[in-house]
Amino acid sequence: MMADIAMEGITKTFGKVVANKNIDLQVKYGEIHALLGENGAGKSTLVNVLSGIYIPDSGSVYIDGKETRLNSPRIAAEVGIGMIHQHFKLVENMNARENILLGNKKGLLLQKEKLNGEIVALSERFGLKINPDQKVYDMTVGEKQKLEIMKVLFRGANILILDEPTAVLTPQETENLFEIIQKMKDEGCAVIFITHKMNEVMMIADRITVLRKGETVKTLTKEETSPQELAELMVGHKVDLSIKRPKTEKGRVLLEVKDLQAVNEEGIKTLRGISFKLATREILGVAGLAGNGQKELCEALAGLYPITGGSIEYLGESLVGKSPREISSLGISMSFVPEDRLGMGLVAAMDMVDNFILKDYYKQKGMFVDRKQAREKARQAIKKLDISTPGINNSIRELSGGNIQKVLLARELNSNPSLLITAYPVRGLDINVSYKIYDLINEEKEKGVAILYVGEDLDVLLELCDRIMVLCHGEVMGILDADKAGKEELGLLMSGEKTDKLGD
């Protein structure tokens, strides 16, 4: 018997890249179906086909047993498909009600009372607490997401697609979201849930379809599988899911930051008195929801972001107001792997060689640039980090995300740093590369490097780092010992509850 929602033989190519290759997916009403796969496995492409954004090269979609041509998002909405995108599509300076109404064709005039009634009814049914009069710019990320869900439900969707909905949420918000998803299931909706986090799948999904390199690997029920098996299906071979934390004797304090303050271009405070110490042979993790001062902190340390108060001392030498080149001329070897790899750390259109000379070309004598050494270093890096690239003279734009990150790390580690700042170094990378990067970072730690690791996955932070500093609104909420802290505690700190634990 055919499932309620069935996709059969979906193929979709972009240029030379086959994003989906003959994929089958079957989902039932009243079930939570997780779509699991690494980045680039084709999850997003597949659900974009289902929501009418992409038109497949071949294959068919059946809704309630009828073949349906989803040629536009509108048609998809008419048959009850609603998608909650990872990046919210809301109008910031409108309120919740106005956002819900956007694009709706129900009547000409706004019947505020009636609409409010409908919104409240939906809220109660699904446990979505929304204030219809609240402006979007006043909402937290969690509230915005609820509004997105409400928008879709209001249009009568009963097949809901959530594209990595937990990536931006705190653990508490995630729990709340899962309750809502559970309600949807109880109400008879079909929920398709995209993720690459195994523990979430095990918590909420009924059935799981694993995709790998654009193909369906297997569909299984939660009861018959384990995180270990899922990870292996995703990657295609055996993986060890534990991250090592080599025991090292913490060395002397290398970096001391006291009461660091900064404002952005609009005059809003981005760093509000951050203080911490970082020693050699330790990894200090930085946790927090995106946009709570992590980027500014990293850039301020690297001499790229102006600070308005406080001090940064490297072995007693003040770094305040110094440019990256001035810091380097003090004999301090600081490496910085920024969050925005192609927009800041590397030049996308240039080849590996030109990217390798980015930070030290100016130290060469004379007005010309010599690339001989860099060529040699690039060749070595390809071997050492196992970078797959057509050659050292191909622009790095042609490489995959993981290989781009390897190029960046290779350059930054080549300078033998004593202080390493990494911001989201594994974001968007698949399991293999992520673990390779954890290993590299641990290797540096054992060499005696002081490491600041800004991350988003709390499980990784807890396993990899020695201590974890939690930021919220540019303030330090607490600094915890990683082997004594729990996810719950971190989550509370991330949402702004302060603790008096400030590490040492």
Q: Can you give the binding site for other proteins, defined by CB under 8 A?
A: 14-17, 55, 302, 304, 323-325, 328, 336, 338, 340, 342-350, 354, 357-359, 361-362, 364, 367-369, 398
- The nearest distance, CB 458 to other proteins, in angstroms, is 28
Q: Between residues 103 and 343, which has the closer beta carbon with respect to other proteins?
A: 343
- The nearest distance, CB 445 to other proteins, in angstroms, is 24
Question: Three-state DSSP class for 51?
Answer: coil
Q: Between residues 267 and 390, which has the closer beta carbon with respect to other proteins?
A: 390
- The nearest distance, CB 167 to other proteins, in angstroms, is 23
Q: Between residues 193 and 356, which has the closer beta carbon with respect to other proteins?
A: 356
Q: Between residues 407 and 472, which has the closer beta carbon with respect to other proteins?
A: 407
- The nearest distance, CB 346 to other proteins, in angstroms, is 7
In order, the DSSP letters of 55-86 are --SEEEEEETTEEE---SHHHHHHTTEEEE-S
Question: Three-state DSSP class for 274?
Answer: strand
- The nearest distance, CB 85 to other proteins, in angstroms, is 21
Residue 109 to residues 124, 147, 154, 387, 433, Cα–Cα distance (Å): 25, 22, 17, 59, 54
Q: Between residues 223 and 368, which has the closer beta carbon with respect to other proteins?
A: 368
What tokens does 250 get? 């913490």
Long-range contacts of 356-365 (CB under 8 A, 24+ apart): 356/381, 356/410, 356/411, 356/414, 358/411, 359/324, 359/411, 359/415, 360/415, 362/325
Q: Between residues 195 and 422, which has the closer beta carbon with respect to other proteins?
A: 422
- The nearest distance, CB 424 to other proteins, in angstroms, is 16
- The nearest distance, CB 366 to other proteins, in angstroms, is 8
Give the whole-angstrom CA distance, residue 285 versus residue 328: 24
Q: Between residues 80 and 345, which has the closer beta carbon with respect to other proteins?
A: 345
Q: Between residues 137 and 361, which has the closer beta carbon with respect to other proteins?
A: 361
Specify burial of residue 173 (Cβ count, 10 A radius: 0-12, 13-18, 19+): buried
Burial of 403-418, coded b for 16+ CB within 10 Å and e otherwise, reads: bbbbbbbbbbbbeebb
- The nearest distance, CB 421 to other proteins, in angstroms, is 12
Give the whole-angstrom CA distance, residue 283 versus residue 441: 9
Q: For the chain, give the number of residues.
A: 504
Q: Between residues 314 and 336, which has the closer beta carbon with respect to other proteins?
A: 336
How, if at all, do strands 282-287 and 450-454 pair?
Answer: parallel
Q: Between residues 104 and 373, which has the closer beta carbon with respect to other proteins?
A: 373
- The nearest distance, CB 303 to other proteins, in angstroms, is 8
Specify burial of residue 205 (Cβ count, 10 A radius: 0-12, 13-18, 19+): buried
- The nearest distance, CB 275 to other proteins, in angstroms, is 25
Residue 434 to residues 141, 242, 309, 387, 402, Cα–Cα distance (Å): 26, 12, 36, 13, 8
Give the whole-angstrom CA distance, residue 132 versus residue 121: 12
Residue 194 to residues 165, 205, 286, 371, Cα–Cα distance (Å): 8, 10, 26, 44
